[in-house]
Structure 1
Amino acid sequence: MLLTKLKTKAAHLLRGESAEQQAQKFLISKGLKPVCRNFRCKQGELDLIMTDNKTLVIIEVRFRKTNKYGSALESITHTKQSRIISATHIYLSTLKRDDPIRFDVVAISGNGDIDWIQNAFPT
Structure 2
Amino acid sequence: MHNPPERDPPPADDLLAYALADAARLGLRRRKRRTRKAVPRKQDPRLSPAQRKGLDFEDQALELLVHAGLQLLARNLRVAPGEIDLVMRDGNVLVLVEVRARANARYGGAGASIDPAKQRRLTRAAAQILPDLARRHWQGRTPAVRFDAVLFDGARACWLRHAFAPE
Partner Cα separation in structure 2 for residue 121 and residue 109 of structure 1? 19
Q: Which TM-score applies when normalising by structure 1?
A: 0.89
* CA-to-aligned-CA distance 1:16-60 (integer Å, 9 cap, x gap): 100000000000011101000000011100000001111000000
- Say which of 92, 97, 100 aligns to 2:130: 92
1:47 aligns with 2:85: yes
CA displacement at 1:67 relative to structure 2: 1.2
**One-letter code aligned to 1:101:** V
Which residue does the alignment assign to 2:164?
121
Q: State the secondary structure of the residue aligned to 1:68.
A: coil
Amino acid at match of 2:132: T
Say which one has the larger Rg: 2
Q: Provide runs of 4+ in structure 1 moved above 6 Å.
A: none
Could you tell me which runs of 5 or more consecutive residues in structure 2 were left unpaired when the two chains were aligned. 1-44
Q: TM-score, normalised by structure 2?
A: 0.66
Aligned to 2:105: 67
Relative to total residues, which structure has the larger strand share, 1 or 2? 1
| Structure 2 letter corresponding to 1:103 | F
Q: Secondary structure at the match of 2:64?
A: helix
Q: Which residue of the partner structure matches residue 48 of structure 2?
A: 10
Post-superposition Cα deviations, 1:74-115, rounded to whole Å, max 9, x if no partner, equal 1100000000000001111323241110000100122x2111
CA RMSD after TM alignment: 1.4
Identity across matched positions, percent: 36
AA at the equivalent of 1:67? A
Choose the corresponding residue for 1:109, options 139, 144, 153. 153
Segments of 5+ residues of structure 1 without an aligned counterpart are 1-6
SS for the counterpart of 2:109 is coil
| Number of equivalent positions | 115
SS in 1 for 2:164: coil
